[in-house]
Amino acid sequence: MYIRVIILLQIALCFCIFSQAQQRLWYKQPAQQWEEALPIGNGYLGAMIYGAVQNEEIQFNEATLWTGEPREYNKQGAYRYLDSIRTLLDQGQQRKAEVLAQEEFMGLKSETEDPKAWLSQVSAERENPQGAASYSFDDTAWKSIQVPAYEGWEAVGLEGIDGAVWFRSSFTLTEQDLSDDWVLDLNKVREQDYTFLNGRLLGHTEGDQEKRVYRIPKEQLRVGKNVLAIQVINLSGKGGISGYKDTRQAIGVRGKKGKFISIVGQWKYWVQNSKAPKVGDYQASYQPFGSLKLRFPSANATNYSRSLDLEKGLATVSYMQNNVSFTRTYLASSPDNVLALHLAADRRGQISFSLTMDAKHQGYRVWKIDDHSLGMHVKVKDGVLEGTSFVSIKLQGGSIQEQDGWLVVDKADEASIYLTAATNFQNYKALNSSYAAQAEKDHARVQKKSFKKIRASHQQDYESLYKRFSIHLGGNAADALPTDERLKRFVETDDPALVALYIQYGRYLQIASSRKGTQPANLQGVWNHLLEPSWGSKYTTNINLEMNYWPTEMLNLSELHQPLFEMIQDLSVAGAETAKAYYGARGWVLHHNTDIWRGTAPINNANHGIWPTGGAWLVRHLWEHYLYNQDPKFIADYYDIIKGATLFFKDVLVKDPKTGWLVSSPSNSPENGGLVKGPTMDHQIVRSLFSIFVQSSQLVGKDNMLRDSIQQMLPQIAPNQIGQYGQLQEWMEDIDDPTNKHRHVSHLWGLHPGNEINAETSPDMLHAAKKSLLMRGDDGTGWSLAWKINFWARLKDAEHTYGMVKMLMRPAGKAGGSYPNLFDAHPPFQIDGNFGGAAGIGEMLLQSHSSYIDILPALPASLPEGDVRGFKARGNFEIALQWQNGKLKMLQLKSKAGKPLKLRYDGKTVELKTKKNKVYSFDAELNLL
């Protein structure tokens, strides 16, 4: 007994010998762009901290401010065309099937207005000989804007503008230049352009995917100044002269002799008409709420630092000014649902500033509540949602007054700023007309509290989640470098502590964007600064939403899964109507996107939007939560949802006339290859769903007959197949293209996040999956890189996995990577890569998807030492492990459910029965201590 105690004491000491890395992001300068700002959030509210010394901005969001409204998303009677679409696919007539599906099988858009009269109205300016297109037109009163803007004019100052906008610029030619015709290359324009040179029309093109290359007859050119005038018409979405995504390629004019003149730069512009007719959308978009603006006295600052402390959930800005040390502390409290900012100095009477709020929404309103408080109201342009925010200042010393919509503070000792926000969203079916009164009461309650008390309750709440898990990988010397510099160095130099920071940053972002009672994390978590965010910043369910929750259970944040479960509950109701309307089926279905109003119908285009397995994939999250926590009551609570998803595919799977297999039709392999029958991914997901149902029905003791029928169907589902290149086929036909580098690798779903492809039960398929992964290549968008990290970890190829980690964490470029604030770059920003990357790093160190818990299954040589505590494994085991020189040193495991344990490390295995809440310790050889 004495010896055992000594050994256990040694283990306890062993887990504490690593020096503590500083778990923070920090920078020597304020943020210049949104992707450099630091995120804080509490699930309801999100904010981005720029940290400017003189003109500070805190851009904030509220999770329920979206476009759109409760409405009908489903095209009733669409099921009447289902058999025809299937028949066309059986006959190999994919294009005809897509045309029919586009006409009859897509979801309903929101209201669309006839644009004819409006288009006629804005055309008058083109016909005016003295108008904006003319050579001699005086545009000196027009404002200037950067051209081109690939992400739309919204990204360079024209937020919220849909309509007709004129652009003017010029270039200079010599007499010799006029001997030949020239060519104008604008590449892309969003959406229509009427392009004039020297007052004459060069061309008109519609469609934002059409390349604009216009011939300029030499007779139309002039010696000296030549004037370009372009009317751009954009009725919805992003607008403007886009140019090239690769900004190294300029737009401009080119002569036959090779002379090129760039026209990139500041152009004059005029918003001719911004009251464009409505254009319907399939689904809604997440919206920014507003910005808190602070102005400080101008003076030179030294010793500047901007940081985000992951351990405390606090952002900080500090600097010296006139021999005074200033500190700003920012937080987003979940207990008090408030964004709070504290301003302090090391000398009294030094805090002076002005504060206001503004927003990008047209017609927003700011008003004075009292000398300490302002209110702001916003309403979205295309929808029924509105929001109200309040900001208040509490002072120690000094004075405060309101002046022209600003709160002006003079010579205070300290200042605390509290911001709250709420919207009239009640649920996906209804609005809350009395929200503003409640929002005012909530703000008044917070106002009574001191910053010290708000901070204390915030940290207690935050740390109760964050501190469950710790990871130290050595290499802490790099902590002394700013995060943006470390990111650049990581391309060539290993930085184990940065890898540890990345996984903890993923946990931080989830705590900040997914809390009980909130919406799930969307494509950007709870952060967004654009009225026209990419992909609507909504929920893409063919991987991105699911990836947001891959690390949740493994990294010991189980309750943060709850917002997703609540969404699944909503989707099961909304999806039941879609199942009837489109398939005449029981149960419920979700296609490849959803939004706050829980749209479940097909969207966008038949070549990728008709993908019916989103709901089945989400069921996997319910099951994973059960596997990690072993609570049968949870399955009982969600059993009807699991059953409903199963009933849908029981009704919808059809027998393939060629093979006799049950297949999913119509569908697609997400965003690749068009509308098909029988994509491999679908069948992997449906097999997973059916297996989950079988086990769930056994757990709750229900539906024996249905269970039997599902078990009979399972082996009839089209199996995984190995193709001509030794690859895992993406489709039923062996048509994989070995040169295809598509970002989606959907047919490897069974490798990850599924588990049917593994070394124990399907080694041949595992090898084929690896071949497919090699064919697809390493590069990709941010989230694609993150998925590949998980794939290679499951393949237990440590060095390839680590290589993918380095690609994910390279500075953002035209391909994936990470922005200076470590946000994942699709590009642009998508948060799924952060979550998927954190999960992938976890998979390198611990896996529990097979019959064994694998310890250090994909440990690369660049991470030779480590100390991790708080890992969760399926079976409800909590694990701490330490390794040195690339070898396991100690392992400690708590059995929280008393389930049988199977461990594996370096070819060694151990199996034992465990007792609930008992701790088990093992040495490097897996000997039980």
- pLDDT for 611-652, tens place per residue? 999 999 999 999 999 999 999 999 999 999 999 999 999 999
Mean pLDDT of 27-37: 97
Identify the pLDDT of residue 475: 86
Q: Identify the bridge partners of residue 203 per DSSP, sorted by sequence position.
A: 195
Q: What predicted TM-score, i.e. pTM, was given to this entire model? A: 0.94
- DSSP per position, 294-307: EE------EEEEEE
pLDDT at residue number 767: 98
- Say which CATH topology domain 27-68+284-468 has: Beta-galactosidase; Chain A, domain 5 (2.70.98)
* AA identity, residue 47: A
CB 268 within 8 A of CB 229: no
pLDDT at 144: 97
Tokens of 77: 């009677």
Residue 406 has what pLDDT? 97
Place of tokens 């994390």: 521
Q: What is the pLDDT of residue 479?
A: 84
Confidence of residue 807 (pLDDT cuts 50, 70, 90): very high
Compute the distance between CA of residue 445 and CA of residue 422 in angstroms, rounded to an integer. Answer: 14
Confidence of residue 20 (pLDDT cuts 50, 70, 90): low
pLDDT at 484: 97
Asked whether residue 243 carries a pLDDT value surpassing 80, the answer given is yes
Q: Are 606 and 102 in contact (CB under 8 A)?
A: yes
At 855-884, the pLDDT tens digits run: 999 999 999 999 999 999 999 999 999 999
Confidence band, pLDDT 50/70/90 cuts, at residue 256: confident
State pLDDT tens for residues 186-207. 999 999 999 999 999 999 999 9
Instruction: Spell out where 567-618 has E strands.
Output: 593-594
Three-class SS state of 282: coil
Using the 8-state DSSP alphabet, how is residue 545 labeled? Answer: H
Q: What is the mean pLDDT of residues 818-830?
A: 96
Q: Residue 31 — pLDDT band, cuts 50, 70, 90?
A: very high
Band of pLDDT at residue 18, cut at 50, 70 and 90:
low
Output the six-digit token pair for 651. 């009704």
d(C-alpha 326, C-alpha 323), whole Å: 10
* Residue-level pLDDT at 14: 45
| DSSP per position, 676-736 | ES--HHHHHHHHHHHHHHHHHHHHHT--HHHHHHHHHHGGGBPPP-B-TTSPBPSSSSS--
- Closest to 343 in 3D by CA, of 408, 445, 412: 412
β-bridge pairing 38-41 and 45-49: antiparallel
Tell me, what amino acid is at 711? Q
Percent of the chain exceeding pLDDT 70 equals 98
32 — phi, psi (to 5°)?
A: -100, -25
Question: CA-CA distance, 91 to 260, in Å (whole number)?
Answer: 51
Judge whether residue 8 has pLDDT over 70: no
- Predicted pLDDT of residue 19: 55
Tell me if 865 sits within 8 A of 474, measured CB to CB: yes
- Section 529-534 average pLDDT: 93
Distance between CA 290 and CA 374 in Å, rounded? 13
pLDDT at 482: 97
Beta bridge partners of 593: 540
Q: What is residue 260's three-state secondary structure?
A: strand
Alpha-helix residue ranges (DSSP H) falling in 814-889 = 832-845
Tell me the pLDDT tens digit for each residue of 736-776: 999 998 999 999 999 999 999 999 999 999 999 999 999 99
Query: What local confidence, expressed as pLDDT, does residue 483 receive?
Result: 97
Question: Which residue type occupies 332?
Answer: A
- Per-residue pLDDT, 404: 92
Range(s) within the chain of domains with CATH label 2.60.120.260: 116-273
Tens-place pLDDT, residues 91-114: 999 999 999 999 999 999 999 999
The pairing of beta strand 672-676 with beta strand 667-669: antiparallel
Half-sphere exposure in the Cβ direction for 8 (13 Å, CA): 11
Residues 355-369: tens digit of each pLDDT = 999 999 999 999 999
Backbone angles phi and psi of 213, in degrees to 5:
-130, 110
Q: Which fold has domain 74-107+538-719?
A: Glycosyltransferase (1.50.10)
* pLDDT on residue 155: 87
* pLDDT for position 183: 97
Q: 837-873: string of b/e by CB count within 10 Å (b at 16+)?
A: bbbbbbbbbbbbbbebbbbbbbbbebbbbbbbbbbbb
CATH superfamily for 116-273 is: Galactose-binding domain-like (2.60.120.260)
**367-373, long-range: CB within 8 Å, 24+ apart, which pairs?**
368/402, 368/405, 370/402, 371/400, 371/401, 371/402, 371/407, 372/400, 372/407, 373/407, 373/447
pLDDT at residue number 2 = 43
